[in-house]
Amino acid sequence: MTMGKIIFYEDRNFQGRSYETSSDCPDMSSFLSRCHSCRVESGCFMVYDRPNFTGNQAFVRRGEYSDYQRMGMSDCIRSCRMIPMHRGQFRMRIYERENFNGQMNELMDDCENMQDRFRMSDCQSCNVMDGHWLAYEQPQFRGKMMYLRPGEYRSLRDTGSNMRIQSLKRIMESCS
């Protein structure tokens, strides 16, 4: 299995001190005073503008990201999570209310617009059974995003993001 590798830089345009990792990093302040750019050598990662995988999130794959602001971050990058490659089926149950209550629907593919497809105006909890997903605050995979890995999410508000989910997409990149 190919591991991911990401290099963070204190300043924009890959300048200043750097920190390299192939795993999750809940708080970059141990390694860098700030992080304004990054280079993904392999794999896929979520980067966050708050410690402990909270705040605004951005999905990054192999490539160069010279400025944190162009990635939708309101502050510099403060934590990152490696996304493991998933082969196989994708499956997730979404619920209209917290604690798996209200209308329930099961997804095995991308959903461009929850309101149009399921007549669901809100998704407040979910159970990711297979695969890794990105949830978006607007239809057609736009706006702020949130990474959902396998597990139960009794309240999506507890994830540190107060956004309403309007579309969901499977992370299917080869991440190599």
Taking the domains of the chain in order of start, what are their residue ranges? 5-83, 91-170
Asked if 5-83 and 91-170 have one fold, the answer is yes
**How much of the chain, in percent, has pLDDT values that exceed 90?**
77
Record the tokens describing residue 128, joined without a space. Answer: 């990711």
Q: Is the pLDDT of residue 29 over 90?
A: yes
Which homologous superfamily does the CATH classification assign to the domain defined by 91-170?
Crystallins (2.60.20.10)
Is residue 175 over pLDDT 80? no
| CATH superfamily ID and name for 5-83 | Crystallins (2.60.20.10)
Q: What is the mean pLDDT of residues 121-147?
A: 93
In this prediction, residue 69 carries a pLDDT of 84
Query: For residues 74 and 48, is the Cβ–Cβ distance under 8 A?
Result: no
Q: What is the pLDDT of residue 19?
A: 97
pTM passes above 0.85: yes
The residues, any chain, with a CB within 8 Å of residue 145's CB and separated by 6 or more, are 57, 58, 59, 134, 135, 136, 137
Q: What is the mean pLDDT of residues 1-10?
A: 85
Nearest in space to 77 (alpha carbons), one of 100, 58, 94: 58
What pLDDT is attached to residue 6?
A: 97
Is 55 or 134 the better-scoring residue by pLDDT?
Answer: 134
Whether 23 shows a pLDDT value over 80: the answer reads yes
Strand order in the sheet with 54-60: 54-60, 44-50, 79-83
What average pLDDT does the chain have? Answer: 91
Query: If pLDDT is split at 50, 70 and 90, which confidence band does 1 have?
Result: very low
